Amino acid sequence: MIQLVMGAVVATTEELQALLTEAETAYHDLCIGNSVRVMVHQNGTRVEYTPANRFALQAYINDLKRQLGVLTNVARPMRVWF
């Protein structure tokens, strides 16, 4: 069992993988111009994703990957040193 970050909900690895697959499909649809996608997050909230807020969907995907141990290092902005 895996403890989810956004609430007291506990999910199995299989459940997290299913959520990740659904989220990645929704992100793909948004990127290629398909209409608005509505998803239910693992904490039960219903969220409507549009092309304008696709970055929130990408953050959700990264969160799921982090919980699954797939994403361990997210690129940070580069610093410029003078």
Residue-wise pLDDT tens digits, 10-60: 678 888 999 899 889 888 888 887 766 677 777 778 877 777 778 888 898
The pLDDT, as a whole number, for residue 82 is: 67
Asked if 62 contacts 49 with a C-beta cutoff of 8 angstroms, the reply is no
| Domains of the chain with CATH codes | 2-12+19-68 (3.30.1580.10)
Distance CA 7, CA 44 (A): 10
* Two tokens, residue 22: 């659904």
Tell me, what's the pLDDT at 62?
Answer: 92
Q: How far is CA 31 from CA 40, 56, 62, 79, in A?
A: 19, 13, 16, 29
- pTM, rounded to two decimals: 0.60
Give mean pLDDT, residues 57-67: 89
